[in-house]
């Protein structure tokens, strides 16, 4: 498949935004359980505003993928069958919830509405955070299922796609939460950093397992089933066009195998070991710049990861476009 | 239920591309048009086509065979491109089973093209919407045309009658009979898309002759001439 940067930015920015929002709410929950010191409302409000900005930029990037962006509103219609439609519905819901969560903290709407048991006071931020958490995970699933549900792209048609999108999004979001805490000098940097390392390690396991699965993948379709001629030697001699077509532009990345391997090795280094080392180093020397660097490098790696995700997938239609003449 | 479709006879397709050009001619100026070209007279001409003829070589030289392979939307009975469409632009008509795109609803997200294993859908670079074979829906539903003309443009153009058109759900239609009696098959059956279009395989007329068939067992000349000659005058020596 041809990796489109609009979709690469869409999926990575949404992932980081969802992860950052979940990190903020996790921080609030830990504080509620008195595992962590309670933070100023402004901490959660600003953090979730940054998450909202990422979601908005991601949504903006997605419009560059559309041929007719002015008709994008139509894409919510087929939510019964299309994961793309479901994503289009869940994303604005999440944005509204993140915005409301941020506003609730900013306006100090933290008076409990009712109590569960003796200690747990349920206020607006807690409810909005819970709803936002549900929406975030629903969005992770919807975004990933857009790819995982296409059975023809066998590299994507796997649970690993959903697990990777979720874990990588969470890891980058918690990494960003650590960077944000470091930037404003908040001591929660080690809390978010620890979670970021745990999630990055989880994502490493799942991503490497996905790579191993795809390396052993045996594609269902062959040129024999494509044209229905039973012979071991079937070679294309003409594809009906000399100057390429949509089929050659959309379904081929057009890079050498060496480039693709280089991108894969780059993301394996940039997403996993380097951010983990940087964030550990930040913990040891109490640096405020290393967590920021860790997030930026991991995000750069995620762009490479998503590029490789697209480039790796081989579409069966390519069997009809093997040779120009 | 009616399921209109094409049956393409690979045995007689000569790869002349008449179906390609007649398809483009009809559809670029009709309901589904325009089918825009880029650099039509330059180095890398490219453009939107609903139908393409591809060529494959089967076997290894000198035992090779050229297969011309016309490829267009197969109007699947289980079209995977339809449920993925977020707007409902991609749909399958209930009355005749043709898979169509509503060009006024399509947002050009290309998701349907990912969900088609045959590469039958092409995004028009100028219109920025997904386009595909309509089976000439504007011709075949036009009651003002004569019965002969109410067929897809490609079918009318084919000089070797390699393209048959009809209802594959009617067991007595020309296409159903052709599929049934001449080994019609579907492309990539492994995906369960149930393409409505079928292809008829290449068939060769071969004559098998065994060596004993080259000798006439009851040859009367051999039967009658049993004489062993030892130099005497024979009939061949007679001067006529």
Q: What is the pLDDT of residues A250-274, one digit of tens each?
A: 999 999 999 999 999 999 999 999 9
Print burial letters for A191-212: b (CB count within 10 Å at least 16), e (below 16).
bbbebbbebbebbbebbeebbe
Give the 3-state secondary structure of B77-94: CCCCCCCCCCCCCEEECC
Q: What is the pTM of this model?
A: 0.91
Average of pLDDT values for B34-47? 92
What pLDDT score does B216 carry? Answer: 75
To test the contact with chain B by mutation, choose from A79, A143, A235, A240 the residue with the greatest count of B C-beta atoms within 10 A, namely: A240
Chain-chain contact of B190 with A229 (C-beta, under 8 angstroms): no
What pLDDT score does B226 carry? Answer: 66
Q: Does A220 touch chain B (CB under 8 A)?
A: yes
Chain-chain contact of B56 with A234 (C-beta, under 8 angstroms): yes
Query: What band does A324 get if pLDDT is binned at 50, 70 and 90?
Result: confident
What pLDDT score does B201 carry? Answer: 96
Burial class (CB in 10 A: 0-12, 13-18, 19+), A115: exposed
Q: pLDDT at residue B233 above 80? A: no
Question: Are residues B47 and B23 in contact, defined by beta-carbon separation less than 8 angstroms?
Answer: no
- In 3-state terms chain B splits into helix, strand, coil percentages (rounded to 5) of 20, 20, 60
What pLDDT score does B223 carry? Answer: 61
What pLDDT score does A172 carry? Answer: 97
What pLDDT score does A72 carry? Answer: 95
Q: What is the pLDDT of residues B134-150, one digit of tens each?
A: 999 999 999 999 999 99
Cβ contacts of B31-34, under 8 Å, gap ≥ 24: B31/B134, B31/B137, B31/B138, B32/B103, B32/B131, B32/B134, B32/B137, B32/B138, B34/B124, B34/B126, B34/B127
Percent of chain A scoring above 70 in pLDDT: 100
Which chain B residues are within 8 Å of A250, Cβ to Cβ?
110, 113, 123
Average of pLDDT values for A185-196? 94
Print burial letters for B109-140: b (CB count within 10 Å at least 16), e (below 16).
bbbbbbbbbbbbbbbbbebbbbbbbbbbbebb
Query: What band does A148 get if pLDDT is binned at 50, 70 and 90?
Result: very high
- Tell which residue, B133, B137, B135, B121, has the closest CA to residue B164: B135
Q: pLDDT at residue B236 above 80? A: no
What pLDDT score does B161 carry? Answer: 96
Q: Phi and psi for B185 in degrees, rounded to 5?
A: -135, 165
Chain-chain contact of A71 with B106 (C-beta, under 8 angstroms): yes
List of E strands, chain B = 4-9, 37-38, 46-47, 51-58, 65-72, 90-92, 99-101, 122-123, 130-131, 163-167, 198-200
Print burial letters for B178-209: b (CB count within 10 Å at least 16), e (below 16).
bbeeeebebbbeebebebbbbbbeeeeeeeee
Beta strand B51-58 with A234-238: parallel, antiparallel or unpaired?
A: antiparallel
Query: Nearest chain A Cα to B63, which residue?
Result: A233
Distance of alpha carbon A270 from alpha carbon A266, whole angstroms: 6
**Higher per-residue confidence, A173 vs B218:** A173
Query: What band does A287 get if pLDDT is binned at 50, 70 and 90?
Result: confident
Chain-chain contact of A68 with B69 (C-beta, under 8 angstroms): no
What pLDDT score does B231 carry? Answer: 78
Chain-chain contact of A68 with B86 (C-beta, under 8 angstroms): no
What pLDDT score does B33 carry? Answer: 83
Which chain B residues are within 8 Å of A69, Cβ to Cβ?
107
| CATH level 2 (architecture), domain A5-216+244-320 | Up-down Bundle (1.20)
**Chains A and B: how many Cβ contacts under 8 Å?**
179
What pLDDT score does A217 carry? Answer: 96
Q: Phi and psi for B128 in degrees, rounded to 5?
A: 60, 30
Distance of alpha carbon B96 from alpha carbon B36, whole angstroms: 28
Helices A5-32/A159-183 angle, 10° precision: 60
- Tell which residue, A216, A223, A225, A320, has the closest CA to residue B190: A225
Helices A159-183/A273-285 angle, 10° precision: 30
What pLDDT score does A276 carry? Answer: 97
Chain-chain contact of A321 with B119 (C-beta, under 8 angstroms): yes
Among the partner residues A234, A241, A318, nearest to B52 by beta-carbon distance: A241
Average of pLDDT values for A154-167? 98
What pLDDT score does A118 carry? Answer: 77
- Would you kindly state where each structural domain of chain A is located, as residue ranges? 5-216+244-320
Distance of alpha carbon B79 from alpha carbon B112, whole angstroms: 10
What pLDDT score does B91 carry? Answer: 97
What pLDDT score does A267 carry? Answer: 97
List of E strands, A189-273 = 234-238
Which chain A residues are within 8 Å of B190, Cβ to Cβ?
220-221, 225
What pLDDT score does B205 carry? Answer: 87
Average of pLDDT values for A37-41? 89
Strand, coil or helix: A122: strand
What pLDDT score does B219 carry? Answer: 72
Close Cβ partners of A2 (under 8 Å, ≥ 6 residues apart): A249, A250, A251, A252, A253, A254, A310
Least confident of A105-109, B2-6, B68-72: A105-109
Q: Does A316 touch chain B (CB under 8 A)?
A: yes
Q: Phi and psi for B125 in degrees, rounded to 5?
A: -65, -25
Cβ contacts of A197-202, under 8 Å, gap ≥ 24: A197/A276, A197/A279, A197/A280, A199/A167, A199/A170, A199/A171, A199/A174, A200/A171, A200/A175, A200/A271, A200/A272, A200/A275, A200/A276, A200/A298, A201/A272, A201/A276, A202/A167, A202/A171
Average of pLDDT values for B185-207? 95
Query: What band does B225 get if pLDDT is binned at 50, 70 and 90?
Result: low
What pLDDT score does A47 carry? Answer: 96
In the beta sheet, which residues pair with residue A66? Answer: none
Structure tokens at A217: 């993948």
Distance of alpha carbon A124 from alpha carbon A130, whole angstroms: 10
Among the partner residues B106, B122, B186, nearest to A247 by beta-carbon distance: B122
Q: What is the CA radius of gyration of chain B?
A: 27
Query: What band does A4 get if pLDDT is binned at 50, 70 and 90?
Result: very high
N- to C-terminal Cα distance for chain A?
22
Q: How many CB atoms lie within 10 A of CB B149?
A: 12
Query: What band does B224 get if pLDDT is binned at 50, 70 and 90?
Result: low
Tell me the domains of chain B and their CATH numbers.
4-200 (3.30.70.20)
Average of pLDDT values for A294-316? 97
ipTM: 0.92
What pLDDT score does A38 carry? Answer: 86
Query: What band does A114 get if pLDDT is binned at 50, 70 and 90?
Result: confident
What pLDDT score does B166 carry? Answer: 97
**Mean pLDDT score of chain B:** 93
């Amino acid at each position: 498949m041809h990796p489109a940067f609009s979709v690469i930015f869409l999926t990575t920015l949404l992932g980081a935004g969802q992860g950052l929002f979940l990190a903020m709410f996790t921080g609030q929950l830990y504080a509620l359980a008195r595992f962590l010191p309670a933070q100023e409302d402004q901490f959660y409000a600003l953090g979730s505003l940054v998450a909202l900005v990422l979601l908005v930029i991601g949504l903006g990037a997605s419009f560059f993928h559309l041929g007719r962006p002015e008709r994008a509103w139509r894409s919510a219609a087929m939510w019964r069958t299309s994961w793309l439609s479901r994503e289009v519905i869940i994303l604005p819901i999440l944005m509204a919830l993140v915005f409301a969560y941020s506003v609730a903290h900013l306006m100090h709407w933290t008076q409990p509405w009712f109590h569960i048991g003796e200690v747990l006071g349920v206020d607006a931020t807690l409810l909005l955070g819970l709803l936002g958490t549900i929406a975030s995970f629903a969005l992770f699933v919807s975004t990933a299922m857009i790819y995982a549900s296409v059975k023809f792209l066998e590299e994507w048609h796997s649970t690993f796609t959903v697990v990777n999108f979720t874990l990588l999004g969470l890891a980058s979001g918690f990494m960003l939460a650590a960077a944000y805490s470091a930037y404003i000098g908040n001591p929660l940097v080690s809390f978010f950093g620890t979670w970021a390392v745990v999630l990055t390690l989880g994502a490493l396991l799942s991503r490497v397992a996905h790579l191993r699965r795809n390396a052993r993948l045996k594609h269902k379709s062959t040129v024999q089933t494509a044209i229905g001629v039973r012979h071991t030697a079937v070679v294309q001699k003409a594809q009906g066009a000399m100057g390429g077509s949509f089929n050659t532009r959309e379904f081929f990345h057009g890079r050498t195998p060496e480039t693709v391997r280089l991108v894969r090795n780059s993301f394996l280094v940039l997403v996993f070991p380097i951010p983990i080392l940087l964030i550990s180093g930040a913990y040891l020397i109490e640096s405020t710049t290393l967590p920021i660097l860790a997030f930026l490098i991991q995000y750069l790696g995620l762009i490479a990861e998503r590029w490789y995700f697209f480039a790796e997938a081989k579409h069966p239609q390519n069997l009809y476009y093997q040779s120009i003449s | 239920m009616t399921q209109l479709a094409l049956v393409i006879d690979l045995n007689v397709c000569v790869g002349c591309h008449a179906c390609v050009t007649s398809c483009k001619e009809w559809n670029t100026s009709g309901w589904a048009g325009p089918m825009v070209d880029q650099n039509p007279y330059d180095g890398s001409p490219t453009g939107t086509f609903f139908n393409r003829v591809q060529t494959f070589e089967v076997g290894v030289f000198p035992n090779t065979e050229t297969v011309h392979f016309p490829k267009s939307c197969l109007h699947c009975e289980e079209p995977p491109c339809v449920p993925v469409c977020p707007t409902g632009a991609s749909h399958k008509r209930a009355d005749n089973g043709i898979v169509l795109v509503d060009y006024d609803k399509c947002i050009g997200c290309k998701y349907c093209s990912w969900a088609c294993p045959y590469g039958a859908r092409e995004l028009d670079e100028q219109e920025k919407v997904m386009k595909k074979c309509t089976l000439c829906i504007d011709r075949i539903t036009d009651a003002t045309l004569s019965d002969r003309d109410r067929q897809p443009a490609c079918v009318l153009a084919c000089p070797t009658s390699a393209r048959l058109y009809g209802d594959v759900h009617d067991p007595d239609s020309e296409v159903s009979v052709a599929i049934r009696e001449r080994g019609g098959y579907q492309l990539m059956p492994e995906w369960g898309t149930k393409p409505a279009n079928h292809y008829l395989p290449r068939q060769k007329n071969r004559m098998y002759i065994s060596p004993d068939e080259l000798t006439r067992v009851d040859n009367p000349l051999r039967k009658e001439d049993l004489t062993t000659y030892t130099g005497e005058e024979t009939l061949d020596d007679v001067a006529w």
